[in-house]
Amino acid sequence: MQQQTQQFNDGIVNIYEAENIANKGEMPKVGLALKEGSLRYEERTVGMSRFYSALQEKIKISQLIRVPRINKVSTQDVAILHDGTQYEIKQVQYPPNVKPECMDLSLERLETIYEIE
């Protein structure tokens, strides 16, 4: 099978994890702490099958991006694109036969915006 060479020319995304960002002794406050910064990405097409399968689970996939593979990214994380829009990562997939190794992130736009540490 022929390998596809991947380019990441559409923008930059930062990956954050939600955690308590309150100072010690204060009431807990959930915010975002940087997990992985300045990842280049390529926008992908959200296919009909993926879109409608997600809707059945009451998830609206707004964006699909491909980034270089990083094993510590999970569905518990938040992606913020270069325009400042915050998305919850709903699915992480690792496509085969692509160089360099990469991952596809299915994103749902957040209605409630987190504060960034």
Delineate the domains of the chain, giving CATH numbers in brackets.
4-116 (2.40.10.270)
Contact 63, 104 (CB under 8 A): no
One-letter amino acid at 74 equals S
Per-residue model confidence (pLDDT) at position 16: 97
Model confidence, pTM: 0.85
* Spans of the chain below 70 pLDDT: 1-3, 48, 50-52, 54-58
List, in sequence order, the alpha helices (H) in the chain. 48-56
